[in-house]
A and B are shown apart, each in its own frame.
Chain A
Amino acid sequence: MTTQSQPTSVRHEVVVAAPAERAFRVFTEQMDRIKPREHNLLAVDVEETVVEPRAGGRIYDRGVDGSECEWATVTSFEPPERFVFSWNIGTTWQLETDPARRSEVEVRFVAEGDQRTRVELEHRHLDRHGEGWEGAREGVDSADGWPLYLQRFAELV
Chain B
Amino acid sequence: MSGQVRVGLRSVVAYQADPWAALGDPTRRAIFERVAARPRAVGELALELPVSRPAVSQHLKVLKEAGLVLDQAAGNRRIYRADPDGVAALRAQLDRFWSQALATFKEVVEQDNEEVS
- A interface, CB within 8 angstroms of B: 7-8, 10, 12-14, 16-19, 22-23, 26-27, 30, 33-36, 38-41, 43, 87, 90-94, 115, 119, 121, 123, 126-127, 129-130, 133-136, 138-142, 145, 149, 152-153, 156-157
Given contacts A34-B108, A40-B24, A142-B88, contact A153 B113 (CB under 8 A): no
Compute how far the CA of A18 lies from the CA of B113 in the bound complex, rounded to whole angstroms: 6
Per the bound structure, the CA–CA distance linking A156 and B112 in Å amounts to 19
Known pairs A12-B98, A121-B98, A149-B95; A23 contacts B109 (CB<8 A): yes
Which residues 12-65 of B sit at the A interface, judged by CB distance below 8 A?
18-21, 23-24, 26, 29, 32-33, 36
A145 lies within 8 A of B92 (CB): yes
Question: Count of chain B residues with Cβ under 8 Å from any Cβ of A?
Answer: 41
Query: Are A140 and B36 interface neighbours, CB within 8 A?
Result: no
Residue ranges of B at the interface with A (Cβ–Cβ < 8 Å): 18-21, 23-24, 26, 29, 32-33, 36, 82-92, 94-106, 108-110, 112-113, 116
**Which residue of the partner chain A has the closest CB to B36?**
A92
Whether A157 contacts B89 by the Cβ 8 Å rule is: no
Which of A17, A26, A139 touches B88 (beta carbons < 8 Å)? A139
> Once the chains are docked, how many angstroms separate the CA of A145 from the CA of B112?
34
Q: Contacts A26-B105, A93-B19 given: A10-B33 contact, CB under 8 Å?
A: no
Are A139 and B87 touching (Cβ within 8 A)? yes
Closest to B68 in A: A93
Most A-side CB within 10 Å, residue of B36, B87, B103:
B87
CB pair B91–A119 under 8 Å, yes or no, is no
Q: Chain A residues near B86: list those with CB within 8 A.
A: 91-92, 129-130, 133, 135-136, 139
**Pair A92/B33 contact, Cβ less than 8 Å:** yes
The 10 tightest CB contacts between A and B, nearest first, are A135-B84, A139-B87, A91-B86, A92-B36, A18-B113, A156-B103, A130-B87, A38-B20, A26-B109, A153-B99
Q: Are the C-beta atoms of A22 and B109 separated by less than 8 Å?
A: yes
Write out the residue numbers on chain B whose beta carbons fall within 8 Å of the beta carbon of A127.
87
Which has the most chain A C-beta neighbours within 10 Å: B100, B102, B109?
Answer: B109
